[in-house]
Structure 1
């Protein structure tokens, strides 16, 4: 095993506090703030020989919070004070994040960050705006589902008729969601109204979206860089396609309830060769990654409108949930992104090291 392959001293960050509301719309905080995934990542990097900075000197493999720091000003300063020169931001980033607050201090110390730009993450976290904007871009026109934004500030009475006329079945989801949290498939006007009311208890706005009844897939797009196995990549590039199955009422269950390894698999090379829709979806996802100027992997969920049809893009995630098994008790915790990486020959630890190599200087990451 090579000692410290990247030469970095890396600290993992988990979410330490709820994300501030943006235009009255809140993003729900995952219980534990991704500390479990952060521990998985830190454990894998340490196993690969990387130097990992942790809150305690010898973290227990099963103790989530001993492997990462909260993504607060004090948490980041503690990590830097212990010698970290790379921050792996396994958290929800936004324009008021501590990384933005400390940008000058971090830049002066030549600190790098792995993750999306906090400024971009907040902008593209608005699923309704992002899909509407992307659907007008060359190469993507016609490949997003019909959608309706409901519950914006001011009177919604003018939207009521549109809601009643919206084609059923449909999907009701938060504007700034987290995975499948709050995502509901509805088949009647009564179910639609109930789902909207429930969603509006957490957010000031809700997205109503055309239900796509065909196959669901997930595509991870990697940033440019130099990697093991595949070499130098000068453009954003897609990992192999993952197909999803065993949805519950038309919605993929949260991975905390059903591990993705139980309801997902890689599309085989024979399947991809016989159905060019997969490659076409990968190409469209690469266009998205270039448009959002992704600095880290992004994950895009797609579905066919009908079986055998073209894939529509419906959920762009700048935080892809890259994680993998390795820690005791976490044997089923492979992520969709990690499953794709395994198909090209990366085990979880090697994939984590390759991701770490794409960490960017704070000044570059926050360039506007």
Structure 2
């Protein structure tokens, strides 16, 4: 019986989601015969790690606390084995403009965009900067924080008049805003888990159809706000292209054990990379558990297998 310490909560804006994810992971591991305990991240964590000496730690933390690589640096310093990406991989993934640049270099399409710090935005004058952005990228646009998850601070801008407020919303969650050309198409998430040989396998794509038209925070975590289709309603060719793009992203960003890649598939069947998540949500409305079910895989067995991989890596 493996003793797994599931880390959930933290102090980010996504604390509640993390707690829900942590409980679901622990319950699944319990069904698989693991001894799983959920614990928050606080000043007593290091003493818990020393005194209890878990076989594996599973960070199910969202936001900076769990996704910027710092916590995993600490775990590696302590010699603690854990599920998920290494620190450097987390940092690359957490910084969306950096992830976009790496993915584009690897040949995967990503929407044209501009990353603007709050300081530059103020110093150059908001009106002139935004006029230049609209002139270059056109409309509509997607505006979001350059670091963060769960669509917090995301706005779809369809007119120039909406752009200033969208920038304010993005800056509420960080000092850098990412403005991207909006790509119309089918929004999908491709989750990836490693098999018993350590080879990444793309699960069936989940198609996302939010009632509001925008996959916002509420649309993600409120039951009934979004309709999901698994597998996604794509042609076989488009589905294969999405899976291939996701696997390229997984490799380029150096993910490990599991991750999720968010894409837009346009009318021609071409996938466009939006962002990736090295610590995907595991709640009852999250996309990776849906993809597991569509693939005919049981969450308990899959999670326990990932724990065993973490023990052997």
Shared fold by TM > 0.5? Answer: yes
Aligned to 1:359, the other structure's residue is in SS state: helix
Aligned to 1:113, the other structure's residue is in SS state: coil
Give RMSD over aligned pairs: 2.5
Following superposition, the deviation at residue 173 of structure 1 comes to: 0.6
Change (3 A) 1:201 1:46: closer
Say whether the 8 Å CA contact 1:301–1:313 is kept in structure 2: yes
The whole-number CA distance in structure 1 between the counterparts of 2:143 and 2:248 is 26
2:2 aligned with 1:13, yes or no? Answer: no
Following superposition, the deviation at residue 124 of structure 1 comes to: 1.9
2:68 aligned with 1:117, yes or no? Answer: no
2:268 aligned with 1:316, yes or no? Answer: no
Q: Which consecutive residues of structure 1, in runs of 5 or more, have no partner in the other structure? A: 19-28, 55-67, 227-231, 324-332
User: Residues 204-353 of structure 1: matches in 2 within 5 Å?
Assistant: 204-223=175-194, 225-226=195-196, 232-233=197-198, 235-254=199-218, 257-259=221-223, 262-267=226-231, 274-305=235-266, 307-323=267-283, 333-353=284-304
Following superposition, the deviation at residue 187 of structure 1 comes to: 0.8
Which has more radius of gyration? 1
2:14 aligned with 1:30, yes or no? Answer: yes
Could you report, residue by residue, the CA deviation over 1:72-109 in whole angstroms, capped at 9, with x for unpaired residues? 45224314412412101111133432x423534x32xx
Q: Which residue of 2 aligns with 1:26?
A: none
Higher helix content, 1 or 2 = 2
Following superposition, the deviation at residue 255 of structure 1 comes to: 5.2
When normalised by structure 1's length, the TM-score is 0.75
Could you report, residue by residue, the CA deviation over 1:117-149 in whole angstroms, capped at 9, with x for unpaired residues? 233212321112211221122x32xx1111111
Aligned to 2:105, the other structure's residue is in SS state: coil
When normalised by structure 2's length, the TM-score is 0.87
Change (3 A) 1:278 1:252: farther
2:68 aligned with 1:94, yes or no? Answer: yes
* Alignment coverage as a number of residue pairs: 304
Q: Which residue of 2 aligns with 1:178?
A: 149
Following superposition, the deviation at residue 153 of structure 1 comes to: 4.0
Deviating beyond 6 angstroms after TM superposition, the runs of 4 or more aligned structure 1 residues are none
Say whether the 8 Å CA contact 2:92–2:253 is kept in structure 1: no
Say whether the 8 Å CA contact 1:174–1:182 is kept in structure 2: yes
Could you report, residue by residue, the CA deviation over 1:336-366 in whole angstroms, capped at 9, with x for unpaired residues? 11111112222222232233233257xx6xx
